[in-house]
Each structure stands twice: as C-alpha cells, then as structure tokens.
Amino acid sequence: MNKKVEMNEWNPEQYLQFKSERTQPAIDLVSRINIAQPQSIIDIGCGPGNSTQILVNRWPNSEVVGLDNSTTMIEKARQDYPEQKWIVGNAENIDPDSKYDLIFSNATLQWIPHHEILLPKLFDCINPGGAIAVQIPKFRNMPISVAIETVANSPNWINYTKGCEELFTFGDMDFYYGILNKLATGVELWETSYFHILNSQESVIDFIRTTGLKPYLDRLPSDEMRYGFEQEVLTECKKYYKVQSNGKVLFPFDRLFFIGYK
C-alpha cells in the first residue's frame, strides 16, 4: 500500500465509453447515504464529472464541487457541466480547513497510496453529522489483473512493467473497518460484483485500457509495444472471460464500498 502512481494523462473520452458501467456503483453508493440534506459535498477524483452528477441529482440544492488531479478530466467535466464547480487538485493535499457534510469518492482511492493516512485526513474535513462514502474496485483480486500480471511478468515485458502491480491500493474490509471504527459513529461496509455484459473479449481490453491497464501501457515506449502488450493480455483474458451463446462476454467486476458517519 505504499507506491506513488506516476502516470500519463487520462483520456476522458475513452473512459466514458463505458459510462453507465462506471457510474452504476456511484448510483448505488449515493442511494445508501443516510444524510437528508448535506449542504456541502466534494467528489474526490471526480473524473469527467459522471459521478458528480449523481450527487447533484440527489441533492440539487447542495453546493457540490468536483476535485481531480487530472487536467484532461477536469477540462471534460467543465465542458460537459459548465455551471458546476471543478477544481484541479490532489486529494492527498486536501486543505485541512475545508469542511464538507459529505466526502464522496467513486473508483479513485485505488490510485492513492496509504489509506491509513488518507482516510483520517479526509475524515478531519467532515462536519459533525456528515459522512465519507467510498467505492474502490478490488482490481488485484480479479482474473483480469491475473491476466495482466501474467503478461507483465513475462521476459518480454518485465523490465518495463516491474512494480506496476503495486500501484493499485486497496485493503480488505478488516483494514477499512479498523480505520473507520476509530473515527466514525456508524460504519457500513459491503461488496458488489457487477457482471458487465460486453460485446466481445476485445471489449474487456477496451474497458480497462484507461484504468487497470493504464499504468502498464504508460510504461511502454511505443504504440507498437502497447499494441503487443494488449494483444498478449487479450490472449490471457480469453482463458477467463468466455464468449456466451449469443456472442456476448460476461465481465465480473468486484467493488468494495464503505460509508463512515461522523
């Protein structure tokens, strides 16, 4: 749980190819937050603003701000939702004097190390009666991660991709409960496996190109090598993600959720 992520810029258009699959966990998480009327909300790692809209839809009268350290993601959010407030910034450097009724984060904290430091820091920024609500993909536990690692650790690639697997941070439920129970007046934890129905095995690669595959591709020096790496990962993926009788491919995606109330 220790490494810093050094990555190239995000590609919001590619990311939004699977907008509904990526946003559903935000919808599910928002629906379980038991606060009637938070006045101030921050969406940490808001990306292109898709998760932020779920917050705005539920609490249209609240002040909602999206924060992300990617300029391309924030530019896309500003372009699509110009009336809303967007900030380029690193969640690790959140201003300790800024206070929110709700700190929300969908599919972002896996890119930030040291959750044992980050979560108490974020919790300090919550007003009494408020909450933190988080969803994190359990990426390293999934077959897709095994497929990527099998290729990344092979002789052709290991010199480029060494250490990439440590760039994803998430703990188990004991870890998060251990942090939250010391801080929160109430805690909820759950997991969901989303069975995405994709058009082909190639779509699995399309789905993770901008997320789980990104740190590996960012390390490779040419388009040709990136293509070669993807093709080898695709071959591995075919062992795990079978084509259904109608040609579709089921892509199970495991995500953990927690809410801590202050």
Q: Of the candidates 91, 85, 94, which has an alpha carbon nearest to the alpha carbon of residue 125? A: 94
The CB-of-169 to ligand SAM minimum distance in angstroms stands at: 10
The CB-of-233 to ligand SAM minimum distance in angstroms stands at: 19
Tell me whether residue 51 or residue 161 sits nearer to ligand SAM (CB atom): 51
The CB-of-133 to ligand SAM minimum distance in angstroms stands at: 12
Q: Angle at the Cα of 182 (from 174 to 96), degrees rounded to 5?
A: 115
> Which residue has tokens 């942090």?
179
Tell me whether residue 106 or residue 157 sits nearer to ligand SAM (CB atom): 106
The CB-of-145 to ligand SAM minimum distance in angstroms stands at: 15
The CB-of-134 to ligand SAM minimum distance in angstroms stands at: 11
Tell me whether residue 22 or residue 196 sits nearer to ligand SAM (CB atom): 22
Amino acid at 153: N
* Chain residue whose CB lies nearest ligand SAM: 47
The CB-of-104 to ligand SAM minimum distance in angstroms stands at: 9
Termini Cα distance of the chain: 25
Tell me whether residue 118 or residue 198 sits nearer to ligand SAM (CB atom): 118
Applying CB under 6 A, which residues contact ligand SAM? 10, 22, 26, 45-47, 50-51, 67-70, 73, 90-92, 106-108, 111-112, 211
Tell me whether residue 47 or residue 260 sits nearer to ligand SAM (CB atom): 47
CB burial of 230-262 (b: ≥16 within 10 Å; e: otherwise) equals bebbbebbeeebeeeeeeebebebebbbbbbbb
Ranges of H-type helices in the chain:
12-15, 19-31, 50-58, 71-80, 115-123, 143-152, 158-161, 173-183, 201-209, 214-219, 223-240
- Are 198 and 204 within 8 A, CB to CB? yes
Tell me whether residue 103 or residue 157 sits nearer to ligand SAM (CB atom): 103
Q: Of the candidates 10, 262, 245, 229, which has an alpha carbon nearest to the alpha carbon of residue 111? A: 10
- Are 199 and 249 within 8 A, CB to CB? yes
